[in-house]
A and B are shown apart, each in its own frame.
Chain A
């Protein structure tokens, strides 16, 4: 597997500028001769499709939702980082770069992260020009808040709905291009196969989710912006439709899957309330700016929160990490919560929860002050739990939220398959083993607005393309595969629903490959998952037909892929004999329970190659070279 990262030479600060100049261009008149497929319409997909359409390429954009505006980026709450230093509190590109590398526990590429920090500033300019209503202060200028893992205020926000506003900005840019005819949109259409011709990615096979029609689309390049795989856990903060299918199909066609074990568990979610639960709801991390996390000091203390006196409360984040306190990075905050609950100090039904208490802040700025900042979040919390968080502390518990792993890409965001580009959460590139808050939006938009529009033309200009149409034999073959797979789901006619398999897989993943992992557990999962997969293929029950809207059939395809993917995830987690960021192996921890990296042996990107079903995948290594930062043990104390 060729894992040349293609990082430009020269000093870190000048790499991207230099690379932009060195890359080849496509003449404006020639651009319309190139067809580009974009799969996914979230921040990365919409921004890429809109920008490439604007440049003059022929773009087709696909999403499984009924409208591109519903992609799951919409649900991001807190904000987007940018090294604008509008607050004059010591921020800079270099600092954002450093915070991100450090936050990622030194498992990301320096060059990529530095580029991300550089273009972060352009993103804010672009979004404001599109009419994104960021929060402003009374002088009419943009406001910032601080976020976990940083000691500066660099997060731009739009109340608790930043993702929504940014996505609607990208969606409006996309609409403009659809109106101009440069982008054709295919909603309610799911990609089910990547098609390669002569070793290059040349198109996809899709299913129209309304009519069931299976069709092929050929292009000169395929861009996957299909998000993360958090739903492998069944319960996560991801939308119900989020899936691994597009990237998994590409992986099976040869694309390397990097670091699948890096998953982020978000510390502030609403705890599970019952076995009917279909998903978990995130409470923005920004709440930790004003809320204090605590549990009772005494085991089995069932008194209501307000009856527990101050001296019998353990504000454990403030105690353990005095300099970052409640703003410790996500992985640390999550694990601390689990620790507290495992020690029997958890609150709420089932003991799986910790308090996030706003009483002090309400005393300081009043209920109105808190309402202004977090009104919608408090409202949402109250709706779900029927508890009033202005009066009693919120109960929170960690939940799967984001996946740092993804398809391997080089500096140009191209996978090891020529012509297959991967953007946003779907790739592995910028967050290492742990993502900082408010950085996902930044990365999605950086990839779509400011990276792919430069690197894709470079690929086009440097390649010769044979004429390939959807009539090509490779497409017909892929279509047939998709058809027979669809038929297979419908013909099993077993006894168990798709969801029941998904729940069972999710439980295995959460127990064995969740917040903490160990060798024995992972090995157990590696036995259980293939068994469950076999059972799925023998006894899944999918009713209805393939020629119409059939939500069970859609789910069956996604769960079938999760059942394969989950195994790879466990395998990756098992092979990485260290703890780093979101990957915590209980065998590898310091005396006081912090993650212990093994830089000697594991300072690399683990890239998996699919060897065929029933064969063990093979891991390849892209060494990570740090020339500008010193590998240090993360300390937030």
Chain B
């Protein structure tokens, strides 16, 4: 199949960048979207043009590296699919395809379609963990976890941190991403001791990073390749309210000696 691509090209974070039109010819419909870009890149290089930079790694939908907004939809038109698992059979020959990077102030473009998502790491570093030293915790089966809680925690834990929720959100809000972690850890007994501090710290960090606010439009849920439900955002809101009422001012550092 033959396609006309409109791709965002930007030299580096300081460059203004612009859309560029590139023809992609003779693409197999069984190729993945990224394999289509590989083919385009091989041709660009043969013609002495720099290849299109895009993040990718595992190419099986789990590492969360790939981050393409395809025709206005993060990860393209297939529901519950990452760009790397999207196949060209989802498109028609002759189609125009717009390929853009995630757009958010908190995700500055580094080059072409590559963005800096370290803001997500900083949000997790602020509180997305359970404080446990490596050593000899109690036996894994000593605290039974009701299956439905474990399953629900898992539904949230499948987040791959790709940032599609931010890219899709009209306000570039990371609430679905944050809520997945907050929800997972607050549902499990192991995560309960730190639940207040966790949600407060993460919500604070989100603001510092320059993300927008949730307006309950659920674009995130529709774009999420792991089909994470906005129910987790509601749970996080609940957690936040509870924490705002209960938690004293967090002390500097982590607890006393």
Contact = CB atoms under 8 A, between A and B. Distances in A.
Direct interface between A and B, CB < 8 A: yes
A277 interface: yes
B191 to A, nearest CB: 5
Given A161-B158, A274-B28, 8 more contacts: A74-B58, A128-B140, A129-B130, A165-B157, A175-B128, A237-B60, A279-B59, A549-B53
Contacts of B64: 67, 69-70, 74
Interface of B: 11-12, 27-28, 30-32, 34-36, 38-39, 42, 45-46, 48-51, 53, 55-65, 78, 80-81, 85, 87, 89, 110-111, 114, 116-118, 120-121, 124-141, 143-147, 150, 153-154, 157-158, 160-161, 184-185, 188, 190-191, 253-254
Given A125-B137, A165-B157, A176 B59 contact: no
Given A75-B58, A386-B87, A54 B133 contact: yes
Nearest to B64: A70
A526 to B, nearest CB: 29
Contacts of A21: none
Interface string A47-89: 1001100100000000001111110101100000000101000
Interface in A444-483: 449-450, 453
Contacts of A75: 58, 60, 62-63
A130 interface: yes
Contact of B58 (A72, A159, A550): A72
Contacts of A544: 50
A276 B145 CA distance: 46
A527 interface: no
Nearest to B34: A278
Contact of A138 (B39, B58, B147): B147
A141 B144 contact: yes
B130 A380 contact: no
B147 A140 contact: yes
B140 A84 contact: yes
A51 B134 contact: yes
Contact of B134 (A47, A210, A240): A47
A127 B157 CA distance: 14
Given A276-B31, A499-B38, A549-B110, A175 B129 contact: yes
A122 interface: yes
Contacts of B161: 67, 69-70
A383 B87 contact: yes
Interface string A99-125: 000000000000000000000001011
A123 to B, nearest CB: 9
Contacts of A499: 38, 42
A130 B137 CA distance: 10
Contacts of A380: 60-61, 85
Contacts of A282: 60
A276 B28 contact: yes
Interface of A: 47, 50-51, 54, 65-70, 72, 74-75, 84, 86, 122, 124-131, 133-142, 158-159, 161, 164-165, 168, 171-173, 175-176, 178-180, 185, 187, 210, 237, 239-241, 273-274, 276-279, 281-282, 379-380, 383-384, 386, 449-450, 453, 497, 499-500, 541, 543-544, 548-552
A122 B57 contact: no
A131 B154 contact: no
A138 B147 CA distance: 5
A499 B126 CA distance: 40
Given A125-B140, A386-B87, A497-B42, A240 B59 contact: yes
A287 to B, nearest CB: 15
Contacts of B59: 239-240, 278-279, 281
The 7 closest A-B CB pairs, nearest first, are: A140-B144, A172-B129, A129-B137, A128-B140, A51-B134, A133-B154, A239-B57
A70 B65 contact: yes
Contact of B188 (A133, A141, A453): A133
A122 B131 CA distance: 17
A453 B134 contact: yes
B139 A125 contact: yes
A131 B134 contact: no
Contacts of B126: 179
B35 A66 contact: no
Contacts of B121: 67-69, 175, 185, 187
A161 B110 CA distance: 30
Contact of B30 (A125, A239, A274): A274
Contacts, number: 217
B27 to A, nearest CB: 8
Given A130-B130, A549-B53, A171 B137 contact: no
A44 to B, nearest CB: 13
Given A122-B136, A499-B38, A549 B130 contact: no
Contact of A131 (B30, B138, B191): B191
Given A131-B191, A142-B141, A164 B62 contact: yes
A233 B81 CA distance: 27
Which of B28, B121, B140, B154 lies at the interface centre, i.e. has the most chain A CB atoms within 10 A of its CB? B140
A66 B150 contact: no
A74 B59 CA distance: 12
A240 B62 contact: no
Contact of A164 (B55, B57, B158, B185): B158
Contact of B136 (A68, A125, A180, A185): A125
A68 B153 CA distance: 22
A137 B145 CA distance: 9
A66 B118 contact: yes
Given A138-B147, A497-B45, A548-B12, A176 B129 contact: yes
A117 B8 CA distance: 51
Contacts of A130: 129-130, 132, 190
B154 A159 contact: yes
A449 B134 contact: yes
Given A164-B160, A544-B50, A131 B110 contact: no
A453 B135 CA distance: 10
A172 B57 contact: no
Nearest to A165: B157
A129 B118 contact: no
Nearest to B51: A552
A141 B190 contact: no
